[in-house]
């Protein structure tokens, strides 16, 4: 399990990250909101532990940004703010749990375990591929965007599967050709571009977020950035 810890108090983040590592978790640490925001949006985590007050971007801003990108990663706030209004603000921003400083370490570890366990139990469709609000059920070859089914051809399904299995990675033209076609059936060079165009028209209609990004002269990158 991979955790992102964002806290500008190194006297807290340093020992806390060491303890989480001892518990068997992978841990990335950021000591300001800008670095935390970048890590949260560019990497896949099983849990975010966010301090409320941070330089550059607050924990609330990071949480809202994560949710606006359709990421369901559990969020645990660590904060000295303990009024009802503060808790409501945190929950409304998309937080899953809230721990007031100072706290007992064993309580924090218990909440971490609970959030990770809950996240695992809430994944009945774990075989589905999901990027932003796009979902692909590879077993039934069905694609959904914002809950609406999209009809794709077999070759479009294959291309989308390859994209979604490698989110945010540059996939070269050569890699995609090798994945989609056998060596003895390589199509002309414009076939891939035409296939990508058709796929775009189907999954990026009605001003929805662009997911397929052309890297000119190299290939394509799939994701929200």
What DSSP string runs through 34-64?
Answer: HHHHHHHHHS--SEEEEESS-SSS-HHHHHH
Q: Kindly report which listed range (46-50, 79-83, 98-102, 112-116) carries the lowest average pLDDT score.
A: 79-83
What CATH number does residue 135 fall under? 1.10.10.10
Q: Are residues 12 and 99 in the same domain?
A: yes
Q: Please compute the mean of the pLDDT values over residues 107-127 and round it to a whole number.
A: 74
| pTM of structure | 0.55
User: pLDDT tens digit string along 147-199?
Assistant: 778 888 889 999 999 999 999 999 999 999 988 988 777 777 789 999 999 99
Per-residue pLDDT, averaged over 132-153, amounts to 81
| 133/71 Cα distance (integer angstroms) | 9
Let me know whether 23 and 110 are in one domain: yes
User: Residue 215: which H helix or E strand, with range?
Assistant: strand 212-215
For residues 222 and 211, the answer to whether their CB atoms sit within 8 Å is yes
Q: Are 39 and 81 found together in one domain? A: yes
The domain total for the chain is: 2
Phi and psi of 122, rounded to 5°?
-90, 20
pLDDT at 123 over 70: no
Q: Label residue 121 by pLDDT band (50, 70, 90).
A: low
pLDDT of residue 190: 87
Interacting residues of 16 by C-beta distance below 8 A, sequence separation 6+: 5, 7, 105, 108
Higher pLDDT, 204 or 5: 5
b vs e for 10-24, b when ≥16 Cβ sit within 10 Å of the residue's Cβ?
eeebeebbeebeeee
Is 126's pLDDT higher than 60? Answer: no
Instruction: Detail the DSSP E strand segments found in 52-123.
Output: 75-79, 97-100
Do 167 and 214 fall within a single domain? Answer: yes
Range of the domain at 83: 2-121
Say whether both 114 and 152 belong to one domain: no
If asked whether residues 88 and 46 sit together in one domain, one would say yes
What is the average per-residue pLDDT within 63-76? Answer: 85
> Across the chain, what does the average pLDDT equal?
86
Distance CA 116, CA 123 (A): 11
More confident residue, 215 or 117: 215
Question: Per-residue confidence at 62, pLDDT binned at 50, 70, 90?
Answer: very high
Query: 89 and 158: one domain?
Result: no
Question: Which pLDDT does position 122 carry in this prediction?
Answer: 54
Same domain for 211 and 149: yes
């Amino acid at each position: 399990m991979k955790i992102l810890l964002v806290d500008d108090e190194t006297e807290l983040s340093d020992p806390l990250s060491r303890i989480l590592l001892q518990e068997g978790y992978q841990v990335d640490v950021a000591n300001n909101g800008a670095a935390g925001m970048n890590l949260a949006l560019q990497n896949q985590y099983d849990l975010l532990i966010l301090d409320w007050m941070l330089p550059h971007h607050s924990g609330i801003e990071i949480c809202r940004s994560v949710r606006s990108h359709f990421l369901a990663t559990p969020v645990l706030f660590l904060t000295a703010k303990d009024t009802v209004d503060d808790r409501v603000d945190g929950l409304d921003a998309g937080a899953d749990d809230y721990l007031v400083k100072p706290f007992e370490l064993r309580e924090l570890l218990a909440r971490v375990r609970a959030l990770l366990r809950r996240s695992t139990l809430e994944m009945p469709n774990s075989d589905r591929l999901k990027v932003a609000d796009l979902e692909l059920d590879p077993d039934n070859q069905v694609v959904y965007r914002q809950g609406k089914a999209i009809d794709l051809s077999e070759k479009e399904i294959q291309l989308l599967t390859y994209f979604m299995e490698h989110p945010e990675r540059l996939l070269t033209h050569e890699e995609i050709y090798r994945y989609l076609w056998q060596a003895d059936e390589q199509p002309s060079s414009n076939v891939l571009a035409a296939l990508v165009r058709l796929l775009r028209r189907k999954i990026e209609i009605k001003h929805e977020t662009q997911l397929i990004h052309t890297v000119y002269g190299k290939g394509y990158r799939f994701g929200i950035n």
